[in-house]
Amino acid sequence: MVPNIRAKVRRFAPQFRQARASALNESDTVDRIRRFFEDVLGYEIDDISSETMMKNKYVDLCLKIDGTIRLLVEAKAANVKLRDRHIEQAEGYASRNNYQWVLLTNGVEWHLYHLTFDEGIEYERAFVVSLAEDGNADEAARHLALIHKQSIKKGHLDKFWEKASAMCAFSIGKGIFTESVLGALRREIRRSCGVLIDTEDLAKAVLDLMSQEAREAMGPIRIRRKRKPRNTKASPRKESSNGSTEVVSQPPISRQRNP
């Protein structure tokens, strides 16, 4: 179980809101963020390295566990609006050292990114939370507890990401658009409505029910079918490397790895 940091977050949040209201500069904001890591998230002074250099640029903070860097932090002044491009410096440093987690924050807003390096650098937001309102503090604390020193050390952050990845639109879409799932839905519609729907038409109807954001996250939609026995004659289909066949039912949609 992750540590309960709600009370500490509620006490600390007004300091960040005050920093935003007074347009506190970046250096002083970083000092407050450092104290947050120490007082709320369980890191010792020796766990936090400042301004790690990468090609004449710096990553603001590196968080270590047992002497190994586990989280890079890119910090901005309290009143700066956070944008994905702000992690570019940390992203480059992470790719050279195979670090998977980058945190972007101005103290009020906290954006955690998970990075992969299979084909270039790809990043996805793991969570986005805000301390701008008192009512958000408990929800923010629930997520921020995942980057507590003990949570990372015990694998809670990695387990959170595994579950989040399994439940994302891309994974769910991959599960829905299979011959077996669509077949079950097709049979249920025939039972309840008395109409037998073509599988490709059903796939398109299901896709139309989804939001544009979900469709973009899922990428190209294909109906994955089980390969028929070799002695069975069937219409030519594209065969995948894992033995399934794929029928394109929708023009390709680029997968958005960074929403």
Specify whether 128 is located in the same domain as 240: no
Residue where one domain finishes, among candidates 113, 141, 162: 162
The closest of 165, 131, 163 to 32, measured between CA atoms, is 131
Specify whether 100 is located in the same domain as 179: no
More confident residue, 254 or 36: 36
Residue range(s) defining the domain that contains residue 28: 6-162
pLDDT at position 230 is 53
- Note the residue count of the chain: 259
What is the β-pairing status of strands 238-239 and 122-130? unpaired
Q: Is 0.75 topped by the overall pTM?
A: no
Q: Does residue 63 lie within any of the structural domains? A: yes
Residue where one domain finishes, among candidates 123, 145, 162: 162
Specify whether 141 is located in the same domain as 236: no
- Which residue type does 161 have? W
Specify whether 135 is located in the same domain as 59: yes
Specify whether 35 is located in the same domain as 146: yes
pLDDT in tens, 1-57: 899 999 999 999 999 999 999 999 999 999 999 999 999 999 999 999 876 555 556
Q: Does residue 259 lie within any of the structural domains? A: no
Specify whether 185 is located in the same domain as 215: yes
Q: Does residue 1 lie within any of the structural domains? A: no
How far separated are the first and last CA of the chain, in Å rounded? 29
Band of pLDDT at residue 159, cut at 50, 70 and 90: very high
Helix (H), strand (E) at residue 190: helix 179-193
19 by DSSP, 3-state: which? helix
Q: Does residue 155 lie within any of the structural domains? A: yes
- Using alpha carbons, list the distances in angstroms from residue 102 to 1, 28, 48, 89, 248: 22, 21, 14, 10, 36
More confident residue, 177 or 65: 65
pLDDT at 247 over 60: no
Specify whether 34 is located in the same domain as 91: yes
Q: Does residue 255 lie within any of the structural domains? A: no
Q: Does residue 257 lie within any of the structural domains? A: no
Specify whether 15 is located in the same domain as 105: yes
pLDDT in tens, 112-156: 999 988 777 788 889 999 999 988 899 999 999 999 999 999 999
- Using alpha carbons, list the distances in angstroms from residue 6 to 29, 64, 140, 253: 21, 23, 8, 40
Q: Which residues sit opposite 146 in a β-bridge?
A: none
Specify whether 230 is located in the same domain as 210: yes
Q: Does residue 93 lie within any of the structural domains? A: yes
Specify whether 222 is located in the same domain as 97: no
Specify whether 134 is located in the same domain as 188: no
Q: Does residue 55 lie within any of the structural domains? A: yes
Q: Which two tokens stand for residue 96?
A: 């050279």
Q: How many domains does the chain contain in total?
A: 2
Please report, for the domain that includes residue 131, its CATH number. 3.90.1570
Helix (H), strand (E) at residue 63: strand 57-65
Residue where one domain finishes, among candidates 143, 162, 181: 162
Specify whether 35 is located in the same domain as 150: yes
pLDDT in tens, 57-87: 677 899 999 999 999 999 999 999 999 888 8
